[in-house]
Amino acid sequence: MRYFTLLVILFCFSCDNERVLHLPEIGNTEITEVLDVSPAYLFYDETQPDSTLLNRKNLISTTNWLVNVDKRLTLKQAIPHIKFLQDKKRNAKMHKNEDAKNYFTCNDTSVSNLGFIEFTSIDFIIDETPESFYKNISQLYENRKFIHPKIINVESFHGNILMAEIIHGSGIELSLKMIRYSEFPKYLESYYSESLKEYLEVILSFDKNLSFQDYISIKSELKKIKSDKIIIDTNEFIY
């Protein structure tokens, strides 16, 4: 892993006209080492029409993929490329390894080294309009028959998140409660303890203008939830 860390540094500062990739920062990640890897890089590039440049030349389908995304990109810029990579791996007909995983590479500030967040099972659903978003959420509710669904609508206002709850699969009731990212796990655990339901199932939705740094911050905080009664759905909505 130290060898790969060195490769990341050299790639970011030496290749492709000395492009610099700023990794998102997290603290105390659970995963600090991934073996048998190949990397992809998603750069912030103001010379591109969408300020995004994907380099995937070194990806090998049978390995674990480390996807290095510049933290300055928005989800609108980054997620379509990430979906492309996911589909490429999932749809591979030859040289496929079912055990190979996908990870986002981060800078773990607690150890001053790389940390990783797995996203292999995540399905990103991109909605072009609020109407299509609400329609997809309602369909997901009807298909899955959630016991107690809660939609987390994430907006990018200075480290806070806005809560929204789905009601009987037919409408959205917005909560006025604002919660900081760092308080998110504690809030969900408290909500579950006050509920009479057996499980708390959480659906995540993200503002397309949210920065990748903020997205990773939220995902990192969710990793701190220890209760197996709180289920984070693998569908993530971007709208």
SS3 of residue 144 by DSSP: helix
Domain with 137 in it: what CATH number?
Answer: 3.30.420
Tell me: do 93 and 6 sit in the same domain: yes
Please name the helix (run of DSSP H) or strand (run of DSSP E) that holds residue 83, with its range, or none.
helix 75-90
Cα 118 from Cα 201, distance rounded (Å): 20
Tell me: do 98 and 147 sit in the same domain: no
Please name the helix (run of DSSP H) or strand (run of DSSP E) that holds residue 108, with its range, or none.
strand 102-108
pLDDT (tens digit, 9 = 90+) per residue, 72-122?
999 999 999 999 999 999 887 777 788 999 999 999 998 889 999 999 999
Name 231's Cβ contacts closer than 8 Å, sequence gap at least 6.
199, 200, 201, 202
Tell me: do 194 and 98 sit in the same domain: no
Tell me: do 11 and 72 sit in the same domain: yes
* Residue 176: burial class (beta carbons within 10 Å; 0-12, 13-18, 19+): exposed
Asked which of 118, 144, 176 is the last residue of a domain, the reply is 118
pLDDT (tens digit, 9 = 90+) per residue, 179-221?
888 888 888 888 777 665 677 778 888 889 999 999 999 999 9
SS3 of residue 154 by DSSP: strand
Full domain range(s) for residue 30:
2-118
pLDDT (tens digit, 9 = 90+) per residue, 131-188?
787 777 777 767 666 555 677 777 766 777 877 766 544 555 656 677 888 888 888 8
